[in-house]
Amino acid sequence: MNVNTILHVKGREVISVSPDTIILELTKIFTENKIGSIVVLENGRLAGIVSERDVVRAISQQGPEVLNETVNSIMTSDVVTCGGGDTIDQIMSIMTSGRFRHMPVIEDGHLSGIISIGDVVQQRIAEAELEASAMRSYIATG
Ligand code: AMP
């Protein structure tokens, strides 16, 4: 099971913003799309990632006026990405040690999806259920 297995089910759509998006506008995009992290693209190139956590941190440090500033002032520019062939175990380990819950997927130099910790957990549960069901039928027919 790898990243492509997850993307095959959830799709490859990636919601993105430009670095000059106003942060208040960003919060509306989080809410409307029920997501917690958004990729920042500049001229089609991955320029950063910004999550709800960045917005909360900025408000707590700088006050609510920060909502009128632009996304590039709070985004993380040093983005950790993954490839379609990376395994679920690898992704879990990178997300755990990096303390983030989202990873853009890059294939042939292009953004081709995004994986969240929720997607990874869902995949893990599906695998465990499949294993349990195989064990049950093995026991019943054995
Ligand atoms: P998250 O847990 O994904 O909401 O993000 C927590 C923090 O890590 C925020 O500061 C994000 O900007 C940052 N972050 C999220 N995803 C990544 C990633 N793939 N690479 C680097 N930083 C990230």
pLDDT in tens, 23-73: 999 999 999 999 999 999 999 999 999 999 999 999 999 999 999 999 999
Going by CA atoms, what residue is nearest to atom 7 of ligand 1? 100
pLDDT number for residue 1:
82
CA of 138 to the centre of ligand 1 (A): 42
Query: What predicted TM-score, i.e. pTM, was given to this entire model?
Result: 0.91
Q: Give the atom of ligand 1 at the shortest distance from the alpha carbon of 75.
A: 12
Q: In what order do the strands lie in the sheet with 16-17?
A: 16-17, 37-42, 45-51
Residue-wise pLDDT for 106-133, tens only, equals 999 999 999 999 999 998 898 888 888 8
- b/e per residue, 21-52, with b = 16+ CB within 10 A? bebeebeeebeeeebebbbbbeeeebbbbbbe
Res. 142: pLDDT tops 80 = no
How many residues comprise the chain?
Answer: 142
**Residue 18 and residue 70 in contact, taking contact as beta carbons nearer than 8 Å:** no
**Residue 114 and residue 105 in contact, taking contact as beta carbons nearer than 8 Å:** yes
Going by CA atoms, what residue is nearest to atom 5 of ligand 1? 100
Q: Tell me the average pLDDT across 12-27.
A: 97
Structural tokens at position 46: 């991955």
pLDDT number for residue 63:
97
Please indicate whether residue 49, judged by its CB atom, sits closer than 6 Å to ligand 1. yes
Please indicate whether residue 119, judged by its CB atom, sits closer than 6 Å to ligand 1. no
**Which residue type does 58 have?**
A
CA of 50 to the centre of ligand 1 (A): 7
Q: What is the phi/psi pair of residue 10, to 5°?
A: -85, -15
